Amino acid sequence: MTHPTLDTEHRQVTLRIGGEKRTSASGGWFAHINPCTGTTDAEIPLAGPEEVDEAVQAAHRAFESWRSTSPAERRGILMRFADLIDEHGEDFKQLAALDNGTPIGLGDGFVGMSVEWTRYYAGWADKINGDVTSSLRTHGDFSYTLKQPYGVIGVIITWNGPLFSLAMKVPAALAAGNTVVIKPSELTPFSADLYAQLATEAGIPDGVINVVPGSAEAGAALVAHPLVKKVTFTGGPATARKILALCAEHIKPAVMELGGKSANIVFADADLDLACGLGTIMSVGVMSGQGCAMPTRMIVAREVYDEVVSRVADLAKMVKVGDPLQADTLSGPVVNYAALQRITGIIERAQRDGARLVAGGKRLGGELANGYFLEPTVFADVDPLCELAQQEVFGPVLSIIPFDTEQEAVAIANNTEYGLSGYIFTNDLKRAHRVSEALNTGEVLINGAANLAVNRPFGGIGISGMGKEGGREGLDEFLRIKGVAIA
């Protein structure tokens, strides 16, 4: 069996500060462990506060020139950047397999969406307009608004989809005229390294994009830096609380794209082939369940409950888990040994809590024994108030819960602290609209509609976050509004 390995070109991750590449830093070194093999395959230099300061200073110096670059030129540069990401799609797929075990088949989708998001926001660069707020001199003034960039944006991304996380943030920030300092997770630094290299090749000036892989210390230094004017973060609520505390201390705004415990409500009139198929793949297949918007709670009408449980269990057992370099692999490993231990602990406690295990539940052995591979796991008869139904697992584990009425389904779906995505399967369009309005989530996807569409805002409520990515709303997160009045 093959496993992803680093070639010589990509073995050395670098910091990129003002156009300079650095192969060492004051934060020490991090041993990158290949999740497919459990072995160390690279040593990652970690930025400390010193390098973070240098990166922010470089971004600050580059800001005035970049914001003054004509919108049409910014658009053209970002379009070239998108083309280069597309041309290097195979490289990104290989790096994603190495970064966190993303199967190359899924990597196709991540690369394609990253190209699409970059082109979309490139197109916005010359369409940033203010408004005339008073032209009739009602108050004796002629008034209008300007939309202007903030300056340096601190970009902190997590490990589960590094390329796409960058594409959801950086193109919009740059199209608006900002510069960025990116802190990728030390667990998955390879994609960000190539991303910065291609940005330079596309003609993005030195200092506009800076990359400082690092630990929590580097992240804290970035958030607290006085020249960082806004922070955008993808990750979990625990880290978000620390970031928001620092933002509050320094009075700076933030966008938080956080976790989820998304409900997938399957009504009795639903297309069960579609509901069971997508519900299984999206919860225990894609990304090994390591995605914030995954529908990890399937809430099913009692009339079809037994049939759905049986179908989903059978489908979960058919999910191909294994080598991410194989084209037919759907699910790779979880990110590291700590995640493996945490998820298996949740599975064990769920069984003690009385949930009925109908598929999976174990670490995979054989030729996968050294990696961090888990069987796709499905529980039925899950108590809506137990840990499994309330807390984000971030692994290939699905809870199935019965309901008797529409009102009960909505109540179960809303009974968590999270509020990222909601999923509905029904052939009753009025019901779909009614339930969509009732769900406490940032988005609702009906009958298999795709999430993360570039022209639609994405972002949660509650401990799932604040602010939006995608659509015009995602661009506006990187623009200040200034009012101007002429007497």
Tell me what pLDDT residue 139 has.
65
Task: Give me the percent of the chain exceeding a pLDDT of 70.
Answer: 97
pLDDT of 417 higher than 80: yes
Tell me what pLDDT residue 320 has.
97
The pLDDT of 204-216, averaged and rounded, is 98
Q: Which of 257, 375, 443, 477 is catalytic?
A: 257
Q: What are phi and psi of 195, to 5 degrees?
A: -55, -45
pLDDT of 1 higher than 60: no
CB 295 within 8 A of CB 308: no
Cα(455)–Cα(474) distance, integer angstroms: 9
Write out pLDDT tens, residues 10-68.
557 999 999 999 999 999 999 999 999 999 999 999 999 999 999 999 999 999 999 99
Rounded to the nearest angstrom, the gap between the alpha carbon of residue 122 and the centroid of all alpha carbons in its chain is 20
The pLDDT of 229-250, averaged and rounded, is 98
pLDDT of 135 higher than 90: no
Write out pLDDT tens, residues 79-98.
999 999 999 999 999 999 99
Write out pLDDT tens, residues 421-432.
999 999 999 999
Tell me what pLDDT residue 137 has.
61
Cα(452)–Cα(454) distance, integer angstroms: 6
CB 115 within 8 A of CB 82: yes
CB 341 within 8 A of CB 363: no
Which stretches of 325-394 are DSSP H helices? 337-352, 387-390
Q: Which residue has the tokens 């919009």?
A: 172
Cα(70)–Cα(68) distance, integer angstroms: 6
What residues form DSSP beta bridges with 32?
42
Which domains does the chain carry?
Answer: 15-258+465-486 (3.40.605.10), 263-446 (3.40.309.10)
List b or e across 78-95, with b for residues whose CB sees 16 or more CB atoms inside 10 angstroms. Answer: bbbbbebbbebbebbbbb
DSSP helix/strand/coil, 356: strand
Burial class (CB in 10 A: 0-12, 13-18, 19+), 348: exposed
pTM, whole model, 2 decimals?
Answer: 0.96
The pLDDT of 355-368, averaged and rounded, is 98
The pLDDT of 183-208, averaged and rounded, is 97
Tell me what pLDDT residue 2 has.
59
Cα(185)–Cα(160) distance, integer angstroms: 9
**Residues 198-203: contacts with CB within 8 Å, 24+ apart?**
198/81, 198/84, 198/85, 198/88, 199/81, 200/19, 201/84, 202/77, 202/78, 202/80, 202/81, 202/83, 202/84, 203/77, 203/80
Nearest to 167 by CA among 113, 127, 93: 113
Quick one: pLDDT band at residue 350, thresholds 50, 70, 90?
very high
Write out pLDDT tens, residues 367-378.
999 999 999 999
Write out pLDDT tens, residues 141-160.
788 999 999 999 999 999 99
Measured over the CA atoms of residue 33, residue 37, residue 39 and residue 43, the dihedral's sign is: negative
CB 288 within 8 A of CB 401: no
CB 398 within 8 A of CB 283: yes
pLDDT of 132 higher than 70: yes
pLDDT of 3 higher than 90: no
The pLDDT of 1-7, averaged and rounded, is 56
The pLDDT of 246-258, averaged and rounded, is 98
Write out pLDDT tens, residues 300-329.
999 999 999 999 999 999 999 999 999 999
Write out pLDDT tens, residues 289-307.
999 999 999 999 999 999 9
CB atoms within 10 A of CB 40: 11
- Is 257 an active-site residue? yes
The pLDDT of 164-187, averaged and rounded, is 98
Cα(190)–Cα(102) distance, integer angstroms: 13
pLDDT of 183 higher than 50: yes
Average pLDDT taken over every residue of the chain: 96
Measured over the CA atoms of residue 234, residue 117, residue 5 and residue 281, the dihedral's sign is: positive
CB atoms within 10 A of CB 187: 20
CB 48 within 8 A of CB 88: no
Cα(268)–Cα(272) distance, integer angstroms: 8
Tell me what pLDDT residue 33 has.
95
Tell me what pLDDT residue 323 has.
94
Measured over the CA atoms of residue 222, residue 160, residue 323 and residue 369, the dihedral's sign is: positive
CB 288 within 8 A of CB 331: yes
Element spanning 383, H or E: none
Tell me what pLDDT residue 8 has.
43
